[in-house]
Amino acid sequence: MDDKKISIAVIKRLPRYYRYLSDLLDAGITKISSKELSERMDLTASQVRQDFNCFGGFGQQGYGYNVRKLYEEIAEILGIEQAYDVVMVGAGNMGQAVAKYDNFKRRGYNLNAIFDINPDVVGNTIAGIPVYHLDDMVEYIKTHKTDIVTLTVPAKVGTTIVDMIGGLGIKGIWNFSYADLHEAAEKYGIIVENVHLSDSLMILGYRLHTEK
């Protein structure tokens, strides 16, 4: 893979390519043209070719792409084979839903512990994962390898959590809260990836009232 900076727009399409190619492999399809792939993905064929060129090709134009090779190379670019140790803060509705998603484990997302302050959940397990009190989080992280903290907490406590985990060696935050954490996280060199459902809903609303 080239060291040149790849645009975030291209990066964001990679998981979609990855999923499509995975479906194609499951269906026993070994070759695909940029035209076919682009139609399935609602992109133009030239966009697909451009995207793949960013990473140094993968195929011969006119002959189609080798599905397995493409799949494996995209997996490598995405770092799919890596495993991460994760703790989650927030055992509310969203936290529970995320904890119960079996799929994430296949992506190397190993959820080891959940922290909350609610006495109804502390001491229990969710999908087999123990729920501890938030007061024990820092000690837990100090004594258990932890790469990612998943935040499913109310917006007002988001920054507080970042300050609690800053300096403990956390690499990334998967942020479902509406707290904007980039300033706090930057201080500690932590990467933040946001999932903001309300934003997605607003974009759907925008599209409904402009495209319709």
Q: Tell me the CA distances in angstroms from 189 to 67, 147, 163, one per residue in order.
A: 36, 13, 12
The nearer residue to a copy of itself, 56 or 139, going by C-beta atoms, is 56
Q: Tell me the CA distances in angstroms from 34 to 54, 70, 100, one per residue in order.
A: 14, 12, 36
Binding mask 12-51 for a copy of itself (x = CB under 8 A): x-xxx-xxx------------------xxxx---------
Contact predicate 85/144, CB 8 Å: yes
- Stretch binding a copy of itself (CB under 8 A), from 10-18, 44-52, 53-61, 138-146: 10-18
Please choose, from the candidates 96, 122, 76, the residue with its C-alpha nearest in 3D space to the C-alpha of residue 176: 96
60 is an interface residue for a copy of itself by CB under 8 A: no
- Stretch binding a copy of itself (CB under 8 A), from 44-52, 59-67, 116-124, 168-176: 168-176
182 is an interface residue for a copy of itself by CB under 8 A: yes
Q: Which residues, in sequence order, are CB contacts of 178 under 8 Å at separation 6+?
A: 155, 158, 196, 198
The nearer residue to a copy of itself, 78 or 117, going by C-beta atoms, is 78
Cα gap 121→114, rounded to integer Å: 10
Site for a copy of itself in 98-127 (CB under 8 A): 98, 100-101, 103-104, 107-109
CB of 11 to a copy of itself, least distance (A): 6
Contact predicate 20/52, CB 8 Å: no
Q: Which residues, in sequence order, are CB contacts of 84 under 8 Å at separation 6+?
A: 108, 109, 110, 147, 148, 172
Q: Which two tokens stand for residue 76?
A: 């490598």
CB of 113 to a copy of itself, least distance (A): 18
Positions that interact with a copy of itself (CB under 8 A): 9, 11-12, 14-16, 18-20, 39-42, 77-80, 82, 84, 93-94, 96-98, 100-101, 103-104, 107-109, 147-148, 171-172, 174, 178, 180, 182-183, 191, 193-212
